[in-house]
Structure 1
Amino acid sequence: MKGIRKILLPWIMIIIFLSILFILYNRMEENYLDMGEDAPLPDDLHPLVEEKKDILLEQAEAIDIDVVITDKTRSIDEQNELYEQGRSASGNIVTNAKGGESYHNYGLAIDYALLDNNGDIHWDIQYDGTDSGESDWFEVAELAKDLGFEWGGDWNRFPDYPHLQMDFGLSIDQLQRGMRPAPEDHDEADK
């Protein structure tokens, strides 16, 4: 009997562990809508991204930083045009994401820049229009991260300083396969 326990106990533990993993995986999947591979792309930002964008603008204004949102949801064609910039079209390379490979295509990303007192847009990440001794760009990025955004300036491979996104735990591959965060899913983006 003792020998059987010795053999069965590890298998029972493995079965319990795998069962827990299965339950957790299924609970995680419940937070998303699986609309299938031919899921339509949104025309607007996800409601939570929109809400957090508005809060970001208010918070920046409260510390005298004037932020302008330069891009929100993009179509596949718009993304492909940006991808071609610096490759087959004139200009500098601004993205490594082709159409369908950007969180902008799924209403989960925004880009920002700064406005000075004359209304001129600044893309200079060192710009300090408030004379606080700290880059306004980085101050806005910190506000955004506190609101749950991921900042492209933190990326090692291709820093994208104007970019803010909320992925809701979804990869580009999952989004391409039709998974979408539920419109009312506020908890996932705050994690």
Structure 2
Amino acid sequence: MKNAKTAFSVLFLLVLGSFLFIWLRSEIAFREELKERPVPSTLHPIVEEKKNELIAKAADIGIDILITDDFRSIEEQNSLHRQGRSDPGRIVTHAKGGESYHNYGLAIDFALLLPNGDVVWDINRDGNGNGKADWQEVVDIAKDLDFSWGGDWRYFKDYPHLEMSFGLSIDDLQNGWRPEDVME
């Protein structure tokens, strides 16, 4: 009886070990495949669709907005990161190339568009005259569309910034994960 239990235990451990070995091997291969996936070169289709909805819904309540930035290449991101450091200007980002949701087509920036064509970043302006700041009204619409707002960040407040992470961190994106992987 004792030998049967020992034999069963050994067999169980061999089967379990084989299963874990096969699973781990396939997981490593999958992660290597992810790392080889290219960085996107355009705005993600869902983010594009939600961006257009945001523009339309804001216009419906008398607020015109301009998308000032959406997809941003690694090179463009690095150039922005140099601003206020080695290049003239004020610091506008703490993210280097590959460290921003813009680099993966998952973020947009907006500003208010005035009737005369001027663009403003006035977060207190009430151009539609309803007693609420237009900026916050746009942010509320964006949040209803599942965007996260940079104005809610704890440290570096980025008021024009809206993003959709699809539950993926920057580390996930750098390692090749894409929203399609988590949406399937």
- Give the TM-score of the pair, scaled to structure 2: 0.79
1:1-191 equivalences under 5 Å are 35-182=33-180, 185=183
> Residue 106 and residue 120 in structure 1: after superposition, are their counterparts in 2 closer, same or farther (change >3 A)?
same
* Distance verdict in 2 for CA 1:45–1:184, change over 3 Å: farther
Q: Determine the C-alpha separation between the residues in 2 that align with 1:98 and 1:137.
A: 27
Counterparts of 2:122 and 2:73, CA distance in 1:
27
C-alpha change, 1:110 and 1:118, in structure 2 (3 Å) is same
Contact 1:60 1:66 in 2 (8 A): yes
Judge conservation of contact 2:58–2:65 (CA < 8 Å) in 1: yes
**Unmatched 5+ residue regions in structure 2?**
1-30
Name whichever of 122-131 and 57-66 sits farther off: 122-131
Query: Partners in 2 of 1:115 and 1:79 — Cα distance?
Result: 24
- 1:19-46 deviation line (CA, Å, top 9, x unaligned): xxxxxxxxxxxxxx98522321112111
In structure 1, the residue matched to 2:16 is: none
Shift in Å at residue 55 of structure 1? 0.7
What CA distance in whole angstroms lies between the structure 1 residues aligned with 2:59 and 2:115?
13
Q: 2:62 & 2:181 partners in 1: Cα distance?
A: 32
Aligned-partner SS, 2:111: strand
Higher relative contact order (CA closer than 8 Å, sequence separation 6+):
1
Which protein is bigger by CA-based radius of gyration?
2
Which is further off, 122-131 or 143-152?
A: 122-131
Change (3 A) 1:72 1:183: farther
Q: Give distance in 2, aligned partners of 1:183 and 1:42.
A: 14
d(CA) in 2 for partners of 1:183, 1:63: 36
Structure with bigger helix share is 2
Tell me which stretches of 4 or more aligned residues in structure 1 moved more than 3 Å.
Answer: none
- Identity level (%): 60
**Alpha carbons of 1:118 and 1:34: their partners in 2 closer, same or farther (altered >3 Å)?**
farther
1:56/1:143 contact within 8 Å kept: yes
TM-score using structure 1 length: 0.76
Residues 98-153 of structure 1 deviation map (CA, whole Å, 9 limit, x = unaligned): 00000000000000001111010001211221122211111100100011000001
Equivalenced residue count is 154
> In 2, are the aligned partners of 1:34 and 1:180 still within 8 Å (CA)?
no
The alpha-carbon distance between structure 1 residues 167 and 67, as it changes in their structure 2 partners (threshold 3 A), is same
CA contact (8 A) 1:113 1:123 kept: yes
CA contact (8 A) 1:149 1:166 kept: yes
Superposed CA RMSD = 1.8
